[in-house]
Chains A and B, each alone.
Chain A
């Protein structure tokens, strides 16, 4: 158990809908990262938040947005869903903002299926 929790575990929805994925980092971790794992794209970095502020953006679509709240939990919002958004979405957390050897601790993931 990494200490990172993600809800829900599974999500099935239809095209065009909007969903929210939730992540609680390990106690004391200030950085939260979101990754998408799909069969065709592999594991891709989406976005990083540090202590409530966006710090880095990767291959995140404009239909997707995220935020980190004062209690440090984070939400990833996916809207106007398409079939291709079906994937496993991972949240990870780390203590610092950008330490070179900092380990990122991964949650169990949310499996999103868009029908």
Chain B
């Protein structure tokens, strides 16, 4: 079945450091890939997405490129801020009109950014 593997956390960085959170996936067909972020006490918010190979999703300084050859969708940001502290989830979307759709999530990575 479909699965998503994220780098184990938690991750602690200083402000303005470079961030990479690794994500690899296993899926049949051509899933869409997403990064969601969960701030303390809140629901999940979409951070960025990519729907086909070599697409790059970007938002708020975060980027991720859909790499079909390595089945990866690593999240990067050049300079993190304290306000980026949250839990980040990599997810793949599988959807078929005949059998419904779902998101399959990775384990989540807790990011803490210190001033």
Contacts and interface: CB of A to CB of B under 8 A. Distances in A.
Check if A and B associate: yes
Interface of A: 2, 4, 31, 33, 35, 42-45, 48, 50, 55-58, 90, 92, 97-109
A56 B102 contact: yes
Could you say which of A44, A90, A100, A102 has the most chain B C-beta atoms within 10 Å of its C-beta? A100
A56 B99 contact: yes
Could you say which of A2, A58, A106 has the most chain B C-beta atoms within 10 Å of its C-beta? A106
A31 B102 CA distance: 11
Contacts of A4: 43
- Would you call the interface of chain B mostly helix, strand, loop, or mixed? strand
B105 A103 contact: no
A97 B98 CA distance: 9
Contacts of B42: 108
Given A42-B108, A103-B49, 13 more contacts: A4-B43, A42-B106, A42-B107, A43-B108, A44-B105, A48-B100, A56-B100, A92-B103, A97-B97, A97-B101, A98-B97, A100-B95, A109-B43
Contact of A2 (B43, B95, B107): B43
